Structure 1
Amino acid sequence: MYNHTLDKRMKLNFQLTIANASLSRFGLSAYNLVIIWVVLRITEKPVLAGLADSMMTFPLMLSIIVGAAVDRMWIKKELAITAALVRMMLLLLIIYSLHWGHSIYVILAIYTSTFLIGFTSDVIDSVRASWMKVFLREDQYKSGSSQLSSSTMLAQGIGFVLSGIIISLGDFRSFLCLALIFAVALFPLLGVKHSRYGGSGSIQEYIAGGVRLIIGDGRIREIILMGLIGNFLIGMAAIMFISLIEIGFGLSAVYVSMIFGVLVFGIAVGSFFASKISGKLGMISFSIYSVIGISFFSVSLVHSILLTIPPVLIAGLAMGIESVTVSTSLMRIIPSDMMARIQGAFNTFGIAATAVSSIVGGLLYQFAGKIHSFMVVGMAMILLALLIPFLRNFSKMVF
């Protein structure tokens, strides 16, 4: 097994990992809003725009397989670099479709590229999950998780804010700019240096080992359940916010960037201060999901884009705290040689829900309208908070 002693090399590796994660998140957040805006402009259908966003999360339904493969492989760095190169090249496919000028080609290229970008990003994320456990000592899990989460969320917020500017450049230049961002994200991966580590069993054995750990550990099962429901509701709210701004308020992409920028800024701040919080995980999560639910519900009562800022910021702060509590808890209870596949399972069951939620959120907004749709999501999030006391393993965990 790889030596966990954190020397100067490991510190540098950890910082490079954060740099790659932050640059990637910056590019992906901008990419998500760009494709949603382009598809919505071409089709004028929120459901199809939601489907475009969902294409990135569909590959994560197989994330446990990707994680098992990453845990087994000895060439993790090379694998991440290859995935990053492919991700960058996929942007050129969209640019090529724009050259043809036919809307159907552009939509198909966006759907196809987004699906494959989701897959390659999952590969890179799995490698990073394995590296996080290796590059940190156990007493650094909370602070390291907080640093990673706050850095990536801040980068995501910047991506959301700048996406409006990127969109204003025009479709061709927008995707060219995104390709350059993904190219820059490749460089930190090149600087990571560590002894190779991996396994020799079959992929099936690695998957089975991960499944056995999940089934046998009630804490992991309940964390996945919370992620499944929570990500589903947040995914619904995301597409609803975009529809609210463009269709409900009739505003430009700059306001989409502003609202999502506020949300992710809140997540970044919440992630930063999360390391200073301690207590039973159940009570912390109960408070967090209640706050998010009330915030979403309150959006249904406002009639101005400016009045949505306070509840969005508060929801972001709560999400940031929850992100760090969950990631730290997983790092503490999962062995380093199983980190990628368990993180993959978390993605499979949690983020796969987000894929469906974007479509459901688009349908809910389309048929229920801006008032009732946010009421439904807010009440559902509050009900999720009330479920937490019944998750005994999760509730007893200490953060």
Structure 2
Amino acid sequence: MYNENRNDSMLQNFHMTVANAAISRFGLSAYNLVVIWVVLHITGSPALAGLADSMMTFPLMLSIVVGSVVDRIWLKKEIAIGAAMIRVALLVLILYAIYTGKGIYVVVSIFAATFLLGFTSDVIDSVRASWMKVFLSEDQYKSGSSEMSSATMLAQGAGFVISGIIIALGDIRSFLVLALIFLAALLPLLTIRHARYGGSGSVQEYIMNGIRLAMGDGRIREVIIIGLMGNFILGMAGIMFISLVQVGFRLPAIYVSMIFGMLVFGIAVGSLLGQRISGNIGRISIAVYAIIGASFFSISFVKNGFLAVPPSFIAGLAMGIENVAINTSLMRIIPVEMMARIQGAFNTFGIAATAVSSIAGGFLYESAGSTYSFMTVGICMMSVAVMIRFMRNFSSMAY
């Protein structure tokens, strides 16, 4: 079915998978902030800017279908390359809309392209989830998860930081640079070499088997529930940070880049620290969510952009530790032939259900203001920490 002998070439494949993930995340994080900034500039509405950002998560409602197709198909590398090429074409579509000079065309093209970018990202993410299990041996799961998480988070942080510079280039140059980044992400995929593997059952059977495992295993089910709540709150906080800088403090885009950059840098550092931590997943997660909640709550008292940086870094540090702990634990209990489907289940039941989080965050900020909106998300995140104590399957997992 696949190469059981994890030799140097398999490890090289894993490093190329990490490289593809890092470059892609770099491009997507820069793209997200550029898109939010452009839509906010054209429309003046944080809610519409949040909707533009959320368009990338809507395709994840079909993520379990995508994961089932990826698990079944034997041409995993080819489908990933095709999705990467479509990404570049979508940026060309936005460039054409900008060239017309009509704001409505730009906004519509951004909404459409962002939706399709979410779909192509889902395809590539599903392939990478399957490859992670194939290219690593069990004793490499923790270090591999740490490498993947830290590399992608550093790349995402760099994307947030560079987005301020990209925005300053102007609309046409901004999206041209983003197109070149997505083109560069294609190169590591071309170097991956491994024996093909897949299945022969129907896609419907693959979908049902994935749902049965995700819903039937209490550990996986509770991870999905926690991820649903946590990601929804984080999605709200994201658009609130941008609104705080642009609307509240009336600062340039570079300050958004600085705050998000430190948040993601914290995640990268936490991911590196995560491989050195062991213990009960429940206790680790309770501490993590409490720290994140307290960090967000403290931002409600911030009166300038610089003071938002330290709590952002601390929240990111906690998120990074949690990412490695969860990913490592799940890799140990999910069989290789189910990896893409379970990744799809996490997206479908978790991330996709939070597709309206950016919209909710925009409306919360508009109605409650900066102080009470950040207090609200902080309290909600600390409430998740309390709920974890009562999730017995999740709390019993060892890391």
Aligned to 1:13: 13
Number of the residue aligned with 2:186: 186
Tell me what 2:48 maps to. Answer: 48
**1: CA distance between counterparts of 2:376 and 2:125?**
32
Correspondence list, 1:80-91, <5 A: 80-91=80-91
Q: What is the aligned partner in structure 2 of residue 119 from structure 1?
A: 119
Counterpart-to-counterpart distance in 1, 2:197 and 2:357: 37
The offset of 1:5, in angstroms, is 2.0
Tell me what 2:293 maps to.
293
1:149-201 Cα shifts (integer Å, max 9, x gaps): 00000000000000000000000000000000000000000000000000001
Query: How many angstroms does 1:302 deviate by?
Result: 1.2
Matched residue SS, 2:353: helix
Say if 2:3 and 2:194, in contact at 8 Å, map to a contact too: no
Match of 1:95, as an amino acid? L
Q: Does the Cα contact within 8 Å between 1:231 and 1:351 map onto a contact in 2?
A: yes
User: 1:350 offset after TM fit, Å?
Assistant: 1.7
Please give the alpha-carbon distance, in whole angstroms, between the structure 1 residues aligned to 2:222 and 2:34.
34
Equivalent residue letter for 1:139: D
Q: Secondary structure at the match of 1:397?
A: coil
Task: Name the amino acid aligned to 1:79.
Answer: I
For residue 351 of structure 2, what is the amino acid of its counterpart? I
The aligned amino acid for 1:127 is: V
1:269 Cα deviation from its structure 2 partner? 0.3
Distance 2:327 2:205 in 1: 25
Which consecutive residues of structure 2, in runs of 5 or more, have no partner in the other structure? none
Letter in 1 for 2:131: W
The answer on whether the counterparts of 1:229 and 1:353 sit within 8 Å (CA) in structure 2 is: no
CA distance in 1, matches of 2:390, 2:92: 49
Q: Contact 2:11 / 2:135 at 8 angstroms: preserved in 1?
A: yes
Q: Percent identity?
A: 67
Say yes or no: does 1:153 pair with 2:158.
Answer: no
Alignment of 1:357-368 (within 5 A): 357-368=357-368
Equivalent residues, number: 399
Q: Counterparts in 2 of 1:184-263, with a 5 A limit?
A: 184-263=184-263
Q: C-alpha offsets along residues 30-64 of structure 1, whole Å, 9 cap, x if unaligned?
A: 00000000000000000000000000010011110
Which residue in the other structure is 1:331 paired with? 331
- What amino acid does structure 1 have at the position aligned with 2:257? S
Q: Is the 8 A contact 1:64 1:344 kept in 2?
A: yes
* Counterpart residue type for residue 204 of structure 2: Q
Which amino acid letter does the alignment assign opposite residue 54 of structure 2? S
Q: Is 1:236–1:354's contact at 8 Å kept on the other side of the alignment?
A: no
SS at match of 1:193: coil
- Residue 3 (structure 1) shift: 2.6
Residue of structure 1 equivalent to 2:30: 30
Task: Please give the secondary structure, in 1, of the residue aligned with 2:278.
Answer: coil
Matched-pair contact (CA < 8 Å) for 2:224–2:349: yes
Distance 1:34 1:102 in 2: 18
Distance 1:123 1:216 in 2: 25
Q: Which amino acid aligns with 1:317?
A: L
**Could you tell me whether the CA contact under 8 Å between 2:39 and 2:52 is conserved in 1?**
yes
CA distance in 2 between partners of 1:358 and 1:323 (Å)? 21
Q: Following the alignment from structure 2 to structure 1, what is the Cα–Cα distance between the partners of residues 33 and 4? A: 39
Distance in structure 2 (CA, Å) of the matches to 1:308 and 1:254: 14
What is the TM-score normalised by the length of structure 2?
0.99
Q: 1:236 is aligned with what amino acid?
A: M
Name the SS of the counterpart of 1:295 in structure 2.
Answer: helix
How far, CA to CA, are the matches of 2:144 and 2:269 in structure 1?
Answer: 15
Kindly provide the CA deviation profile for residues 302-334 of structure 1, in whole angstroms up to 9, marking residues without a partner as x. 111111111101000001111111111111110
Instruction: Check whether the contact 1:70–1:127 (CA below 8 A) recurs between aligned residues.
Output: yes
2:350 corresponds to which letter in structure 1?
A: G
What does the per-residue CA deviation read over 1:269-292, in whole Å, with 9 as the maximum and x for residues that have no partner? Answer: 000110000000000000000000
Supply the distance in 2 between the matched residues of 1:349 and 1:36 (Cα, whole angstroms). Answer: 25
CA distance in 1, matches of 2:324, 2:101: 44
In structure 1, stretches of 5+ residues that fail to align are: none
Which residue of 1 is the match for residue 62 of structure 2? 62
Structure 2 distance, partners of 1:202, 1:79, is 18
Which AA in structure 2 matches 1:165?
Answer: I
How far does the alpha carbon of each residue in 1:77-104 deviate from its partner, in whole angstroms, 9 at most, with x for none?
0000000000111000000000111111
CA contact (8 A) 1:94 1:106 kept: yes
What corresponds to 2:321 in structure 1?
Answer: 321
**Displaced runs of 4 or more, over 6 A:** none
Contact 1:14–1:135 (CA<8 Å) still a contact in 2?
yes
1:128 aligned onto 2:128: yes
The question of whether the paired residues in 2 share the 8 Å contact of 1:231 and 1:353 is answered with no
For residues 252-271 of structure 1, the C-alpha deviation after alignment (integer angstroms, 9 at most, x for no partner) is: 00000000000000000000
Hey, what's the Cα distance between the residues in 2 that align with 1:287 and 1:88? 41
Distance 2:303 2:132 in 1: 43
Conserved 8 A contact 1:4-1:136: no
Query: Which range moved further: 13-22 or 322-331?
Result: 322-331
Instruction: Answer whether contact 2:296 2:378 (CA < 8 A) is retained.
Output: yes
Counterparts of 2:22 and 2:4 in 1: how far apart (Å)? Answer: 24
1:290 and 1:381 in contact (8 A); partners too: yes
Match of 1:340 in 2: 340
Give the Cα separation in 1 of the matches to 2:381 and 2:53: 22
| Alpha-carbon RMSD | 0.6
